[in-house]
Amino acid sequence: MRHFNYFENGGPFPSSCVSCGNNKELFDLGRELLSGGSAQLCKNCATELALFIGYAEEAPLEERIFALEADVEAHEMELAKVPDLVEGLINGIRSSVTDFIFAVSYSAHVHSDSDVQDDNAPVDEPSSDGKDEGAVNPAPVKPSRK
Instruction: Read off the pLDDT band of 128 (50, 70, 90).
Output: low
Query: Stretch 74-88: mean pLDDT, rounded?
Result: 94
Beta-carbon contacts of residue 7 (< 8 Å; ≥ 6 apart): 15, 25, 26, 27, 28, 40
Read off the pLDDT of residues 40-52 as tens digits, 9 standing for 90 and up. Answer: 889 999 888 888 8
Q: Which of 36, 14, 31, 32 is nearest to 23 (CA)?
A: 14
Instruction: Tell me how far apart the alpha carbons of residues 53 and 46 are, in angstroms, rounded to a whole number.
Output: 11
Q: How far apart, in Å, do the first and last CA atoms of the chain sit?
A: 137
Query: Stretch 120-134: mean pLDDT, rounded?
Result: 60
Predicted TM-score (pTM) of this structure: 0.36
Strand order in the sheet with 38-42: 5-9, 24-32, 38-42
The pLDDT of residue 111 is above 70? no
Q: What is the DSSP letter of 49?
A: H
- Predicted confidence at residue 122, as pLDDT, reads 66
